[in-house]
Chain A
């Protein structure tokens, strides 16, 4: 207690000063005077008495110092002083400070941005009871991404037959709900259908009213509908009025009673989106087509491990697989698995696909941060060299080593703190941009990820800041520690610096070269990968193709009329100047969605588990000519096929598999559930179908003008830039097929790029990381060379006076730059090769063991070395021996 009081006093004394210095001094003076007087009384002369008093009682100044230490907290006062002194220093070296803070903000910002997403998708736990006990089921069909949606009847199968879950509940998304409170315009919201046990299983309590129960789920119907709304909806529309409970809202035109409000913290079970309305599952089950895509969430019984649940679910799953395989004639379903994953952080369709790219980005951002640290360290070391004089003065007037080290560390921490704060701001925008990119990758519902930093993110950036401060502050601190007054005073004469310091500088540059070699290799790897994706093995020519999608829905034209109009439109489009060739099809290459059917070929026997889907397309004549896919045998479709028996064209992959040693022409293919066969009349080259990542599947093309299969995707190959013919194309559409709407227009290259947004983003970001790396290495190299040349001016002058030519001097400077780069590359190349493996593990189909990216990074670093060496080398060559010697 009394100690606490002392510390409170001293804390106050540190800032507000307890007793004033004058008061302290006065007391000591009185003491000294009385002491001197008493000595005088003992008969000593005045001078001697005063001296004796000082000897006996100590000097006033020292006692004052001791008093001051007791009055406040000296280390806190020192820290206060260090911070003020440090800030003054940072403001004085404004340029340097700005550069360092920018580097830090970039490094910390990019790592924190990536971490924000990792946190939101994988770490942030749901605000529910015991989230660690929650798991969810993921169905995995071979070759497809995992999928959390089950058919209702299989949800029931797992619910009723498992022994591992104390609760097993289902939820199904309700997208695009039109929700309106009384008298307002409906707004589009995301909802969830949930079973009655959903809220109790999660252990949630309502903010007000009550939550959906089993009773609600049993009773709900279009006439007696109930809903729970989110806290945010309640706040927005009811201003948090408890009377909202019992009022009615309209959901998709159905009057619905609001029975309660979900707790504020709970924004839904899906990690990457927010739910505003929960409705009883019964409504979804009563709807036409029933409910599909039920997310199944289980709460593990006490003592049951997730492995136990996996074992049981996989046994139960066999029954499901056999049923689906038998129903769909797809034996591959027998290989499908049902996987169990933790759901404590929410259900996520994005987690699987985003995990590796995010991890990869984290590695890149981390490397960049490390590189920034080495750069900052070398900047600080260089500044340390100019501050040696100041340090020397402080050491010689008695500053302790630990004091100097503390000062230097305080400065590093200050820089890191400002950098981390700026980084956090950057991370907010960076994470939002990443969310938009992930959103564009598509194939899942629109993302609503909260990227505002929470405690975890703040902790992460604080740790990143602290880590970097230690990483880049260590070396200057060590330099301060190693400083002895003697060497400092010697240094003040300007004679050289310890060899160890120079080694540090060189070591840092070597490390920078090695790190940026890794970054550059990775960016080279991605550039190569992207170029391969866009150009290798496409099977069609993507340049100069305009894709126009029409929508005949609502035009009330029957198939016959539409077919005639479309044929007329093809002719009209063909006549537009600049257009080379026009066709139409059911789908275009690398568009989203596939048309799949099982089929068999006369005389070809295959084991059920070898059967694969056939990929279909219905195309008009000249489709292959328009897309640039070669017709290898037989003929193209003709409009006259309309009145002939069914015909088909197959690709090489199909021909190779079914007709390995004979011509497919004249053979027949029949689709399951279809009686009439198609006669194969042509073979075309393999062309990628839905994905740039997959080689061409077995593809069957049907004639779009046979049997009235009208299709509305027009492809137009041009001589001119494809978008330049858009205006006449629109006019032709207006003139010929009037009520039919123009749905969308794009080019084939854009459509391809849209399918590889993630790859392009990774390539772009790794390109940025690589360029940044090269730039930072160049800065480091330039700094070290410029410093070396400045320091060795005299030596260069002497050498030149003794007969060295300018070429010799340039060679020496450029030589040392190249030497450092070579050492850096020697260290960086194995790391770069390893980093390729790492990247390949993160991103499928990366071309590893490709020497080109490594060669690219070596070339780039050599260029960097030459550029960085140019100015210092020229400066060295301009040294005038006479001037240097006269200066001495």
Chain B
């Protein structure tokens, strides 16, 4: 069952927003499948996003006005909903990125000095 991968998704929960925003900021507008494929590829297959996780997250970001979405035609002439980052999204990304870097540095220090 798909649910059995949930532990992995749980780890992602707090950082999913950050990853989505980072990806959209770097690559530009993407539809949901492309976004999840991109994340999977970038993580070397470690992150496999369930639709039930991805789309509520996208909707939350949209409700907070960090991303906006519109239906567009893909390269393969299919209609898909494309997400792109907003100015507010970029500001949020910068703030979260700083927080994340700081946290990562702390964890790194702890790991190496105490571990």
Complex interface: chain B residues within 8 A of A70 (CB): 56, 59-60, 63
Selected interface stretch from A58-66, A334-342, A379-387, A433-441: A58-66
| A67 interface hit (Cβ, 8 Å) | yes
Report the separation of the CA atoms of residues A66 and B88 in the bound assembly, to the nearest whole angstrom.
25
What is the chain A residue whose CB lies nearest that of B92? A2
Stretch from A24-32, A546-554, A876-884 forming part of the interface with B: A24-32
Q: Decide if B52 touches A10 in the complex (CB within 8 Å).
A: no
| A residues 4-52 touching B (CB-CB < 8 Å) | 5-6, 9-10, 18, 24, 27-28, 30-35, 38
Q: Shortest beta-carbon distance, A11 to chain B, in Å? A: 11
Select B55's contact among A28, A54, A55, beta carbons within 8 Å.
A28
Q: How far is the CA of A70 from the CA of B50 in the complex (A)?
A: 15
- For residue A31, which residues in chain B have a CB less than 8 angstroms away from its CB? 31-33, 51
Q: Tell which of B2, B32, B92 touches A58, judged by Cβ atoms closer than 8 Å.
A: B2
Within A735-775, which residues are at the interface with B (CB < 8 Å)? none
Q: Is the CB of B81 within 8 A of A27?
A: yes
Q: Across the interface, which residues of B come within 8 angstroms of A556, CB to CB?
A: none
Interface size on B, residues (CB 8 A): 26
Query: Is B63 within 8 A of A55, CB to CB?
Result: no
Main DSSP-derived SS at the A contact region:
helix
B residues 6-42 in Cβ contact with A at 8 Å:
31-33, 36-37
Which residues from B are CB-within-8-Å of A9? 63
B33, A66: Cβ atoms closer than 8 Å: no
- Verify A57–B51 contact, CB threshold 8 A: yes
Q: Which residues on the B side are within 8 Å of A55 (C-beta)?
A: 2
Write the nearest CB–CB distance from B83 to chain A, whole angstroms.
10
CB distance from B86 to the nearest CB of A (A): 11
Beta-carbon contact of A63 and B63 below 8 Å = no
* Contact B88 A63, beta carbon cutoff 8 Å: no
Q: Is the CB of B64 within 8 A of A2?
A: yes
Cβ of A641 under 8 Å from chain B: no
Nearest residue (CB) in B for A7 is B63
| Partner among A5, A62, A67 whose Cβ is within 8 Å of the Cβ of B65 | A5
A3 within 8 A of B: yes
Closest to A12 in B: B63
How far is it, in angstroms, between the C-alpha of A28 and the C-alpha of B55 when the chains are bound?
8
Asked if B80 contacts A56 (CB within 8 A), the reply is no
Assess whether A62 is in contact with B52, with CB atoms less than 8 Å apart.
yes
- The 8 Å CB contact of B51, one of A10, A38, A63, A71, is A63
When distances are taken between beta carbons in the complex, the residues of chain A under 8 Å from B53 are 58, 66
Residues from chain A with a CB closer than 8 A to the CB of B92 are 2
Interchain CB contact under 8 A, B51 and A2: no
Q: B33 to chain A: which residues have CB within 8 Å?
A: 30-31, 34-35
Q: Are the C-beta atoms of A34 and B78 separated by less than 8 Å?
A: yes
Cβ A67 vs Cβ B55 within 8 A: yes
Say whether, besides A28-B55, A30-B31, A6 and B81 are in contact (CB < 8 Å): no
Are B64 and A5 interface neighbours, CB within 8 A? yes
B64 with A66: CB separation less than 8 A: no
Asked if B55 contacts A2 (CB within 8 A), the reply is no
User: Which chain A residue lies CB-closest to B78?
Assistant: A30
Instruction: For B40, give the chain A residue with the smallest CB separation.
Output: A56
Interface residues on A, range: 20 to 34
Q: Which residues of A contact B66 (CB under 8 A)?
A: 2
Chain A residues lying within 8 Å of B80, measured Cβ to Cβ, are: 27, 30, 34
Question: Counting CB contacts under 8 A, is B108 at the interface?
Answer: no
- A60 near B59: Cβ-Cβ < 8 Å: no
Q: Report the separation of the CA atoms of residues A845 and B79 in the bound assembly, to the nearest whole angstrom.
A: 91
Partner of A66, one of B49, B56, B78: B56
Q: For B51, B59, B64, which residue has the most chain A Cβ atoms within 10 angstroms?
A: B51
A38 to B40 Cα, complex, angstroms = 14
| Chain B residues near A59 (CB-CB < 8 A) | 2
Min distance, Cβ A25 to any Cβ of chain B, angstroms? 11
Given contacts A31-B33, A56-B48, A63-B50, contact A6 B2 (CB under 8 A): no
Shortest Cβ distance from B48 into A: residue: A56
Closest-by-CB residue of B relative to A71 is B59
A65-99 with Cβ < 8 A to chain B: 65-67, 69-71
Given A58-B50, A67-B56, residue A3 in contact with residue B32 (CB < 8 A): no
Measured between beta carbons, the chain B residues less than 8 angstroms from A33 are 78
Residues of B within 8 A of A3 (CB): 64
Q: Give A35 to B60 CA distance when docked, in angstroms.
A: 23
> How far does the Cβ of B54 sit from chain A's closest Cβ, in whole Å?
8
Shortest CB-to-CB span from A51 to chain B, Å, is 12
B81 pairs with A58, CB closer than 8 A = no
For B31, the chain A residues whose CB sits under 8 A away are 30-31
Please state if B50 and A57 are interface contacts (CB–CB under 8 Å): yes
Q: For A63, what are the chain B residues with a Cβ–Cβ distance below 8 Å?
A: 50-52, 55
Q: Which of A5, A38, A67 contacts B59 (CB 8 A)?
A: A67
Residues of B close to A30: CB separation below 8 A: 31-33, 78-81
**Residues of the A chain whose Cβ atoms lie less than 8 Å from the Cβ of B52:** 58, 62-63, 65-66
* B residues in contact with A71, CB < 8 Å: 59
* Whole-angstrom CA separation of A63 from B53 in the bound complex: 7
A-B contact pairs, 19 of them (CB 8 A): A5-B63, A6-B63, A10-B63, A18-B63, A24-B55, A30-B79, A30-B80, A30-B81, A31-B51, A32-B51, A34-B78, A34-B80, A56-B2, A57-B49, A57-B51, A62-B2, A63-B51, A63-B52, A66-B52
Question: Ordered nearest first, which 5 A-B pairs have the shortest CB separation?
Answer: A63-B51, A70-B56, A58-B50, A2-B64, A9-B63
A58-B52, A70-B63 provided; 20 other pairs, C-beta below 8 A?
A2-B64, A2-B65, A2-B92, A5-B63, A5-B64, A5-B65, A6-B63, A10-B63, A18-B63, A27-B32, A27-B81, A30-B31, A30-B32, A31-B33, A34-B33, A54-B2, A57-B36, A62-B2, A63-B50, A67-B55
